Structures are given as structure tokens and as C-alpha cells.
Amino acid sequence: MSRDETNYTEIKKLLGKARALEFEIMALEDLLEEEADKVMSITSSTSGVRVTATGDVHKFDRYIMLKDKINEKIEQQIIAKEEARKIIEQLEDPVLQAVLINRYVRVLPSWDDIALAMHYSSVHVNRLHRRALRAVAEEVLKRNSCS
């Protein structure tokens, strides 16, 4: 693999970190909702007169641990998005910046969503994305060779 290809792959991986965290957080939030349902489940006594919460401490502990894990992932994502912004800011072309921001910082779910936001076709957005990644990789390579 050439040095350019390595930089391209590394840049894509760095930028993709925030995006991956976004999807992980979404999955954890789905699990959290399921745990909340378990914690809040209601049972009735056999006589049908008294209604009480289950009071299962283990369910509540799992809920709290999951909530803490989500908060930790959110903190990681904030850092990853800031790193992505710094990489993206190296581009001079605002259109290329917008493609990368929509993909890796705003984390729009699909190429069609990015295309819609930018008023381009998804095919064109894909081309711009590749061009932007190459441009950032070249910029990083240029800066590293100067230092």
C-alpha cells in the first residue's frame, strides 16, 4: 500500500470514529429503553387490589450501568467530532468541507440524506466525498513532510 493510500485509509478511519460512536450510542439507547421498561414494570398482587413496582434492584443497577456507558460513549464522541472538525478544517473548499461535516460530524444517516441537505445527487456527493478524503490526506501528508 502506498503512502497516499495509507493516509487516505487513516483519515477515513479517524473521521469514521465519530460516526461509529453515533450508531453505537443509538443501539445502547435502544437497550436503555428496554431496561427502563423492565425497571418500570408493574405487577399486581394476587388479590388484584394492590399494585406495586417490581423493586428489582438488579434491573435498576443494569439501567444505571447502561446509562453510564452511554454517557461515556457520548464523551468519546464529542472528542472524536472535535478531532474530525480539525481534520476537515484543513480543506480550503467549503463544498468538500460540507460533505465531510455532514457525513462525520452531523452524522447524517445516508448518502441520500447528505445529498438532500446539499442539493446534489447522491452519486455526486459520493464523488465529492472521495475527493475530500484524498484532499485531506494530501494536506496531512504535505504538513507532515514540512515538519
Rounded distance, CA 81 to CA 125, Å? 20
Please give the DSSP secondary-structure letter assigned to residue 47.
Answer: T
89-147 to CATH, choices 2.40.160, 1.10.10, 3.30.2310, 1.10.15: 1.10.10
Angle at 136 between CA 133 and CA 137, to 5 degrees: 85
pLDDT band at 133 (very low <50, low <70, confident <90, very high): very high
pLDDT at site 49: 47
pLDDT at site 51: 46
pLDDT at site 92: 93
In 3D space, the residue among 36, 21, 15 whose CA is nearest the CA of residue 97 turns out to be 15
Query: Would you list the domain boundaries of the chain?
Result: 20-77, 89-147
pLDDT band at 142 (very low <50, low <70, confident <90, very high): confident
Q: What is the mean pLDDT of residues 54-69?
A: 82
- Write the pLDDT tens digit of every residue in 3-46: 667 688 899 999 999 999 999 999 999 999 998 888 777 555 55
Rounded distance, CA 137 to CA 88, Å? 10
- Write the pLDDT tens digit of every residue in 71-126: 999 999 999 999 999 999 999 999 999 999 999 999 999 999 999 999 999 999 99
pLDDT at site 128: 98
Q: Is the pLDDT of residue 52 over 50?
A: no
